[in-house]
Chain A
Amino acid sequence: MLLSSETMDVSFVRKVEALSGTSVRRCFQCGKCSAGCPMATFMEHPPNRVVRLLQLGQWQRILAGRSIWYCASCETCSTRCPNKVHLSSIMDALRKLSWDDEGPSKESYVQLANKLFLQNIRTYGRQYELRLAAVFNVKSGQFLKDLMLGPKLITKGKLKMFHKKNKNMTEIEKIFSRIDEMRKNGEAL
């Protein structure tokens, strides 16, 4: 890893700091976040290393990996951090920046799932799981993925065959269009 003013992308770090509202430089690498993270075993960069790479301006390494998508946003790290670094906000910011970049992440299905999830809510006012699963399988090209789970879930009543729209669709649409507007004006993420 060659370090220089050019290879360390400070502007990206500033973006993360602005989005998350927390200082990246403040972290002194005690490792408490990684010690308590329930998902750390699945990550190639444990939480403390994500911050360390950010400090060195090596964001490509973070976004190329899956660590930020495994983060469950449980906020254990933020709660326990001795130095008031809000790591889960940093993770949120990184996911947002990855999204904006149209996913340099290898885990692009995550983004697809996220998009479909929000679309469903905008259309139905609540989640319509069967449709979500079906569209996800089609769009991701994995037609038979988890198919055998379907009947079980349906018989147990966990998966509804038919959807029921939310009564307050106009209100929900208001929320979505307001966020769109705010994004356009740069007032929201």
Chain B
Amino acid sequence: MNNFIKSREFWLGAAILGIIFGVSLRAPNFVNFANLADIFNNTSMLIILALGQMVVILTRSIDLSMASNLALSGMIVALINAAYPEIPVPVLMIIATFCGLLMGAFNGILVWKLNIPAIVVTLGTLTIFRGTIFLIAGGQWVNAAELSTGFVQMTRHLFIGLPLLSWFAIVIAIGFFIFMTRTSSGRNLYAIGVNPTASVYAGINVGRTKFNSFCIAGALSGFCGFLWVSRYVIGSVEVANGYELTIIAACVIGGISIAGGVGSVVGTILGALFLGIINSALPVINISPFWQMAISGSAIILAVILNGRSANKKGRIILKTSEDSS
């Protein structure tokens, strides 16, 4: 219990409830199921993407190309949908996820086989993926009129009171929770983040695991590309431009250490929700949306400072020094 009160998840949850409470004093109708569900729905994609990024950061890597991957996968399915509206929507979903997976695998293979630092690889693929959108679409947009209704309605179907988009996030979050805490593959991710050398001796293939983490992040980005096009009804070069840093911000606020090996699924989800709540609360309390960027920036800095504090735990003395024992 004491540990729980000290945990990042507890404080982040409390901060989110505090913001909701504070905002509700100014705008009482902020707190009702429909509005909160709406905020969750708007944050769903950030949650999914942040979980993908979490897996990569845990292994001491970083994926800057997620937003570009999302935009390219989204554009591919948008173009397919515009050209062949008869292809069923679930097939598009699989295509987008697969495209994302391929791009993630490309990042992963460069990191695994060529030992290039992840930040350099994904810095390069960030521009390559986004430029490819321009190439395949010839600089054109895919707009609402060109997309089929089935595709556009996909994320909006209500299922037990929530849109399908929210359900995707919930199912993926639960899946991740089980994966990270109950499977050896999930635990391996933590292991190689905490100590890569020891992991090798423990029989974990570090390079392979990193490769897998990039594949996971890529597949989730591709999947979100599909969701993004369906939700915002647009495919363009500008989709999710600069979003890669928001994804990392959600992870950092959620308590994931950029040094690897530290972080939890619940923390990541709360980190994403924290950004989502701030974004939707500002207009309600009449603060200009232009404040958004500075506030999330401050939140990131604060979160990193708090992360640093909790990491500075004093080491335990296992062996006494000779003066002590004599």
Chain B binds chain A: no
Binding site for A on B (CB under 8 A): none
Binding site for B on A (CB under 8 A): none
